[in-house]
Structure 1
């Protein structure tokens, strides 16, 4: 391209071989990515990881939505450029300070804003999936797997020792009489060795004694993994309120506000609050055991309850983790998009004093969430009053869902049949009433006719008048 003007850079004056090559590369990359996702899905189905397979389908749905958004923005690009608004409004809410407004042409000004709008959130989508499903928590969960196998091999028929509750290792490490010191201990505990084998034993036994008392050999580890995979399917999705947050973030990116720096502090603080709360729930379980029992036979048995969670809702913790991962993923994706599109020194990027702390916050969030918060959530989320749907294997879910659907269908049929019977009874009673009324009317008419027949007919004299 000669670069002499805008006309030379349009599609009308672009060689067809360049267009063909570019389209070929784009189509080839799209097919490669699609087949790669299809291959991952086949592997997950072969390994019977149905929850992760559904999460993959959720990612594909999000990618389709992103593609549709990009298509709509591309189609409406020319119309948006031709839209006229007041010049005074164009000077408000700029991400960069405009030195001399009169020296910049209108076309360049419009193109500046068109380029600044992130048309593709695919990077954010991939970052969100990688952060929530990363391998940071795998090491601790592998330890849990070995602990579960060790517990399964223990002999339940052996004689159990009677101990004072304060002699139990779980109580020694977790019970703190002072509430302030308990919260401080919970805050610091999330940074090192969060779950020990004594914690795992206590929470596992508490869950089994409340929900699965008849099966002491219940595999608590497999249940946790199934539940975590189901929650992962929710985390990889982007709900409508998160899309609304994206619009708010883009709106607040005004020169001098440093909005992205202040926004990045929110998930950073919230992460430590959630981690402290999860650790404190374990401490509260130990406190309840001390308050209710003076002695313990065998292992420590905790009592799960929804009262331990914020607003008695364990699901609220998952929502906060989802927000933390989403906000962190968006922040990292937006940073790298600005870095590759412009440069590190661009005015849109902001000052270095605000950029570096944002990167530090994002790194800490990803590490702490992967190594501490997610494993904590994986086990503590089951300390509520109710168990999750994942307590049943996937094939039993399908059977149960089919049975439930059949039960609802049969119930509707019975209600329709009952309604039809009620309608028939109503019309039958109505018709009988009409028939009885008709019979009474006919009988009354017959009586009147008989009375008329028995009455003498009056004689009429006919006279002739002269």
Structure 2
């Protein structure tokens, strides 16, 4: 068996080589055709933003593929780099093992890994007291991690967009109501009302919200229960149309928000150098005993909750401004948005934080499945409660960010 494993391509049947190459080529061409068809479908339906998002995903997959090729070509050159053993034994992600493993299970794992080494039988030669910087086996495992990143990036991006569009689709019935007679009667522009009696102001203001602590506590919890109410949608719609269109214009605001979500999605699916840097920092800090896997999974959750709270705070501040500006309003209250409501006066910063949170969460989920595949879960997840908490947190962040926070941002960011 050892002799079979070490055979080169010159000792491999031509039918085996040709069949394997044919299968790989067919799969690659099929994937390319599918992506091309999707791009054509988006272009035909004038989904420019989604088409650009698809091009970004394809570019990122190309980067990951290029990294993979570099690893394949340079794996033995990297393995030939030798470092002292005492240096190689520092900052390990799992407890240090002896070379023989632990009992029969250790031997089985070593044999299992040997069968999965990419190719060749060349072994690095290091002098006594030195080992390879990264072994060929370790480079192969990194290679598998990159493959997992590519696959899960596509899946995660699709889920994110699907949940966001599902949320905005629920606003269609509110948009349809704007063409009914009941809407014209309920929101008659000639009607005068006290500002504090309007649905939007009443939903966002109270005595307690005037107190800073309770103000943010209320905004924090509102994102879970009523992230976007009917009065929110109608008021923001009225504010947008009053500024950008002539009075009485028939405008499908829900469709406009859907296109805005697609524009935001184009940004969210991108991976900036800063985000790639966070990926490297995580790999550096994933040291045994530091519980980096668990703490890193909390970062996206904290970011998403903070951004959602801030977006709700913006709606509440708009409601306060209406009551402070006018005691009586005509028709629907007119909201006046401003960049001053956003952190550092930069609305785009919230979108960048959403992008960072989604990538980090996607990477954490990818890393979990990679550990499961490589059978690393026994040392990376020594405590079952950490493993369960990580899975739950990852699912919560995906749902919150895609179904609640991102659509809410697409709506609030349109306020003039």
- The alignment's TM-score, normalised by the length of structure 1, stands at 0.76
Match of 1:92 in 2: 90
Match of 1:144 in 2: 171
Q: Does 1:367 align with 2:399?
A: yes
1:441-456 equivalences under 5 Å are: none
Cα offset, 1:220, TM superposition: 2.3
Give the secondary structure class of the aligned counterpart of 2:329: strand
Match of 2:304 in 1: 271
Residues 294 and 108 (structure 1), Cα distance of their counterparts in 2 relative to 1, 3 Å cut: closer
Distance 2:397 2:337 in 1: 29
Distance 1:254 1:297 in 2: 62
- The alignment's TM-score, normalised by the length of structure 2, stands at 0.84
1:424-443 equivalences under 5 Å are: none
Distance 2:92 2:6 in 1: 29
Q: Contact conserved, 2:50 with 2:263, CA < 8 A, in 1? A: yes
Distance 1:108 1:316 in 2: 39
Q: Contact conserved, 1:258 with 1:350, CA < 8 A, in 2? A: no
Range moving further from structure 2, 142-151 or 71-80? 142-151
Q: Contact conserved, 2:152 with 2:362, CA < 8 A, in 1? A: yes
Match of 1:442 in 2: none
Q: Does 1:376 align with 2:408?
A: yes
Q: Contact conserved, 1:7 with 1:13, CA < 8 A, in 2? A: no
1:48-447 equivalences under 5 Å are: 48-100=46-98, 110-117=135-142, 118-120=145-147, 121-134=149-162, 136-153=163-180, 155=184, 160-176=190-206, 177-213=210-246, 216-342=249-375, 344-345=377-378, 347-383=379-415, 385=416
Distance 2:345 2:244 in 1: 18
For the pair shown, the structure with the greater C-alpha radius of gyration is 1
Distance 1:291 1:217 in 2: 30
Range moving further from structure 2, 254-263 or 65-74? 254-263
Given candidates 26, 32, 36, the residue that maps to 1:28 is 26
Give the secondary structure class of the aligned counterpart of 1:296: strand
Q: Which structure 2 segments of 5+ residues have no match?
A: 102-109, 111-122, 124-130
Cα offset, 1:237, TM superposition: 1.3
Residues 109 and 197 (structure 1), Cα distance of their counterparts in 2 relative to 1, 3 Å cut: closer
Distance 2:300 2:16 in 1: 45
Q: Contact conserved, 2:79 with 2:134, CA < 8 A, in 1? A: no
Cα offset, 1:89, TM superposition: 1.9
Give the secondary structure class of the aligned counterpart of 1:263: helix
Distance 1:306 1:108 in 2: 50
Cα offset, 1:21, TM superposition: 2.2
Distance 1:354 1:159 in 2: 56
Match of 2:116 in 1: none
Cα offset, 1:101, TM superposition: 5.3
Range moving further from structure 2, 84-93 or 71-80? 84-93
Match of 1:431 in 2: none
- Let me know the Cα RMSD of the aligned residues: 2.5
Match of 1:393 in 2: none
Q: Contact conserved, 2:71 with 2:139, CA < 8 A, in 1? A: no
Residues 223 and 376 (structure 1), Cα distance of their counterparts in 2 relative to 1, 3 Å cut: same
Q: Contact conserved, 1:281 with 1:308, CA < 8 A, in 2? A: yes
Distance 1:307 1:183 in 2: 17
Residues 49 and 225 (structure 1), Cα distance of their counterparts in 2 relative to 1, 3 Å cut: same
Q: Contact conserved, 2:261 with 2:407, CA < 8 A, in 1? A: no
Cα offset, 1:298, TM superposition: 1.1
Distance 1:131 1:327 in 2: 15
Instruction: Work out the number of aligned pairs and report it.
Output: 380
Give the secondary structure class of the aligned counterpart of 1:303: coil
Q: Contact conserved, 1:164 with 1:296, CA < 8 A, in 2? A: yes
Range moving further from structure 2, 195-204 or 171-180? 171-180
Cα offset, 1:27, TM superposition: 1.3
Give the secondary structure class of the aligned counterpart of 1:17: helix
What whole-Å deviation, never above 9, does each CA across 1:237-293 have from its counterpart, x for those lacking one? 111111111111112222222212111111111111111111111111100001110
